[in-house]
Amino acid sequence: MSPLPQLRIGHLQIGSPFVQAALSGYSDWPMRLIARRHGASYTLCEVLLDQFLVTFKDRARNKHFLYLTDEERPVAGQLMGAEPEQFAQGAARLAAAGFDVIDINFGCPVKKVLGRCRGGFHLSQPSVALEIVRRTRESVPANIPVTIKMRRGLDDTQESRDNFFTIMEGAWQMGIDAITVHGRTVKQRYVGPSRWEFLTEVKKQYPTRTIIGSGDLFTAEDCLNMIRTTSVDGVTIARGCIGNPWIFSQCRALAAGQPLPPPPSLYEQRDVLREHFLLAQELYGAERCGPQMRKFGIKFAASHPQHLLVRESFARIKDLSEWDGVLQKWYAEDLPGCYPDPAVHRSTTECA
């Protein structure tokens, strides 16, 4: 079995092809840092609106959106918006904040996003999409790579397919460094299978370009299979890594020809859960981080053999003492953990 490719984005040597996706409401600094510490080679912040960035005020309540540290580099800022000029201004703000890559979101399928002509809506208007690409590339310093996240089209019509390739071809010509392709359409949202065969087609058409695959990546085996079957240069793990940072080290083990590591024991889970909370407390402060961490605890619970009961406990926590109480109750004995049920992650519909 041939070794996997080493991922490169522009001049950046990323290395391992297993990437943490941008996840709205999730991929903040604590989550990204935990992912990096468990083997993710590269991470993306949660998608930010151009309007928000243009009017951004550096206040304590907002600082988490642009917060990053050297330990997590390289890290990308992902941007979403409707109007090319404002989009470019937002991209410049992300570059000034220190992000190593600027990622353009042309893939979000959320209804309210589409209704405001953002995200996946741009796949229906290639001229506007390419104007956004052009202005973004021009507004960002040449040493900062610019990338795009796309779905395979707005829907399954020939027009949508043609629009997809018009945008992709135009983007390469404008100097885009990599494109992530999700194998579902915008209309599908998260329902139905991701068409990996479309990724194969795209990679065959652009064999020398950096193509990153996305869609239906819930286990380490899924990630290896996508790379092996489609020949994409890397994979971006979205819902499958929420509360499951171990998926990155599992991917690396399989890629090295080693057996799949066992799921993390309860003590291993406990240590990461506490580490994650303390990082969140550092970023958000003691008063704000408790409610913020509930959704993470709920996702982490999927690796516990009593996941439904543990999930209920995490859903009610308010602060570190209550978080520690859950750990003392449910993680007191170092029992074997379990691999999360992919169906749990498939029920999540974050923008990715």
Answer yes or no: is pLDDT of 220 > 80: yes
pTM, two decimals, is 0.93
In a domain, 261, yes or no: no
In a domain, 294, yes or no: yes
The DSSP H or E segment spanning 277 is helix 266-284
Place 345 in a pLDDT band, splitting at 50, 70 and 90.
Answer: low
CA distances from 326 to 149, 313, 323 (A): 37, 6, 5
Q: For residue 297, what pLDDT is reported?
A: 97
Tell how strand 12-15 and strand 211-214 pair up: unpaired
Domain co-membership, 180 together with 274: no
Q: Supply the DSSP symbol for 22.
A: P
Domain co-membership, 198 together with 304: no
Mean pLDDT calculated for residue range 269-281: 97
In a domain, 35, yes or no: yes
In a domain, 339, yes or no: no
Structural domain for 325, as ranges:
266-330
User: What percentage of the chain exceeds 70 in pLDDT?
Assistant: 96
In a domain, 336, yes or no: no
Q: In 3-state terms, what secondary structure has residue 174?
A: coil
Among 45, 108, 241, 251, the one annotated catalytic? 108
Contacts of 222 (CB under 8 A, 6+ apart): 216, 240
Domain co-membership, 299 together with 238: no
Domain co-membership, 97 together with 47: yes
Residue 241 annotated in active site? no
Mean pLDDT calculated for residue range 79-97: 91
Alpha carbon distance 16, 301 (integer Å): 27
Question: Which spans in 55-195 are helix H?
Answer: 84-97, 111-115, 126-139, 158-173
Is the CB of residue 273 less than 8 Å from the CB of residue 293? no
In a domain, 107, yes or no: yes
Is the CB of residue 250 less than 8 Å from the CB of residue 220? yes
The DSSP H or E segment spanning 147 is strand 146-151
Is the CB of residue 176 less than 8 Å from the CB of residue 148? yes
Q: For residue 49, what pLDDT is reported?
A: 86
Answer yes or no: is pLDDT of 351 > 60: no
Q: For residue 191, what pLDDT is reported?
A: 80
Q: For residue 314, what pLDDT is reported?
A: 96
Alpha carbon distance 18, 12 (integer Å): 15
> How many domains does the structure of the chain reveal?
2
Poorest-pLDDT segment among 81-85, 252-256, 260-264, 265-269: 81-85
Domain co-membership, 243 together with 295: no
Question: Which spans in 301-340 are helix H?
Answer: 307-314, 320-330
